Amino acid sequence: MTSVVLEGVSKVFNAGRADEVTALTGVDLTVARGEFVSLIGPSGCGKSTLLRLVGDLIQPTSGAITVAGKSARTARVDQEYGIAFQQAGLFDWRTVQRNVELPLELRGSPRQERHDRAREMLDLVGLAEFAGHYPAQLSGGMQQRVAIARALAVHPPLLLMDEPFGALDEMTRERLQDELLRICASTGTSTIFVTHSIPEAVYLSDRVVVMSARPGRITEVVPVDLGPRTEATRQSPGFFAGITKVRKALRGDPVPAAEPLVAP
Ligand SMILES: Nc1ncnc2c1ncn2[C@@H]1O[C@H](COP(=O)(O)OP(=O)(O)OP(=O)(O)O)[C@@H](O)[C@H]1O
């Protein structure tokens, strides 16, 4: 079953003006239910634009986008998405618990349900004991985990993440990558994840979508089949082969078709 379908999507900003920018052109992409897809490419190639289009934060100039079989607009109204960006974007005056409850409040969920669901999500990201804290009392990594808990609170079928770990140190980042994979596996969530890190894209993804700039478009889709990720995955030949493949694709060297990366 498909979670997201983009067909012939393009996005032109400031159309008809001197500062017109074709941010994306001819984008076709399908994300299956439960699939983890990363977007990688040079600065300005339209990764964030693609994510914002799927999230109905902006509208395409042409083409069609469906999410869970609905228009992006309907999907947003139905809260089919969880969104987490590089800045955790928490509300300083709300406790961790009440930050995570926010999307449930917007949905009009009853108080007890909000409370229980937020607790469940905080448990999932290992922060249950910090429920009563305020964001300023947490480290950057913990704030990012709260943002992920909030994004997951409505059990969204689709998670949109724009460099959520970009500002974190390497160890925290690797730990959160593992937590994210565990959460996605346990909730069956589909994920579109923007990153600048090739190892991060390979480690997390079922497929890495490689984009090029001016105009932004998809140039390669690199399938990754490393099996369940473990500590050993990051040291495995298959992982390094994946990194090389994505790097080549970013450089514009062709990736042989139908050649998924297989765990050694
Ligand atoms: N609101 C906007 N108005 C005008 N141009 C925009 C707007 N948003 C994005 N752009 C342009 O669209 C292009 C793609 O931008 P986008 O932010 O999607 O790239 P990106 O791949 O996410 O970049 P980065 O890796 O630097 O975050 C850029 O040329 C950018 O200047």
Q: Which residues line ligand 1 (CB under 6 A)?
A: 13-14, 21, 23, 41, 43-49, 216
- Give the angle 190-55-97 at the CA atoms, nearest 5°: 75
Q: For position 182, what pLDDT does the model report?
A: 86
**Mutate which of 20, 21, 197 for ligand 1 pocket (most atoms within 8 A of beta carbon):** 21
Q: Is residue 165 within 8 Å of 176, Cβ to Cβ?
A: yes
Question: Where does the pLDDT of residue 1 fall: very low under 50, low under 70, confident under 90, or very high at 90 and above?
Answer: low
Nearest CA to ligand 1 atom 1: 13
Q: Which of 70, 91, 92 is nearest to 79 (CA)?
A: 70
Residue 141's Cα: distance from chain center in Å? Answer: 17
Q: Is residue 229 within 8 Å of 184, Cβ to Cβ?
A: no
CA dist., res. 52 & res. 63, Å (int): 15
Interval 148-205: pLDDT, tens: 889 888 878 899 999 888 877 888 788 888 988 988 888 889 999 999 999 999 999 9
Q: For position 255, what pLDDT does the model report?
A: 59
CA of 219 to the centre of ligand 1 (A): 18
Q: What is the pTM of this model?
A: 0.88
CA of 242 to the centre of ligand 1 (A): 27
Average pLDDT over residues 19-48: 95
Rounded to the nearest 10 degrees, how much is the dihedral formed by the CA atoms of 119, 192, 222, 201?
-50
Instruction: Out of 63-67, 123-127, 134-138, pick the least confident.
Output: 123-127
Q: Is residue 150 within 8 Å of 121, Cβ to Cβ?
A: yes
Nearest CA to ligand 1 atom 6: 13
pLDDT at position 263 over 70: no
CA dist., res. 222 & res. 2, Å (int): 18
Interval 65-96: pLDDT, tens: 999 899 999 988 887 888 877 777 899 999 99
Interval 38-65: pLDDT, tens: 999 999 999 999 999 999 989 999 999 9
Where is 96: in which H helix or E strand?
helix 96-107
233 versus 2: which is more confidently predicted? 233
pLDDT at position 99 over 90: yes
**Mutate which of 17, 49, 61, 209 for ligand 1 pocket (most atoms within 8 A of beta carbon):** 49
Where is 83: in which H helix or E strand?
strand 81-85
pLDDT at position 136 over 80: yes
pLDDT at position 264 over 60: no
CA dist., res. 162 & res. 70, Å (int): 22
Q: Average pLDDT of the chain?
A: 89
Q: For position 88, what pLDDT does the model report?
A: 72
Q: For position 64, what pLDDT does the model report?
A: 96
CA of 47 to the centre of ligand 1 (A): 8
Q: For position 219, what pLDDT does the model report?
A: 95
Q: For position 29, what pLDDT does the model report?
A: 96
Give me the percent of the chain exceeding a pLDDT of 70: 95
pLDDT at position 34 over 80: yes
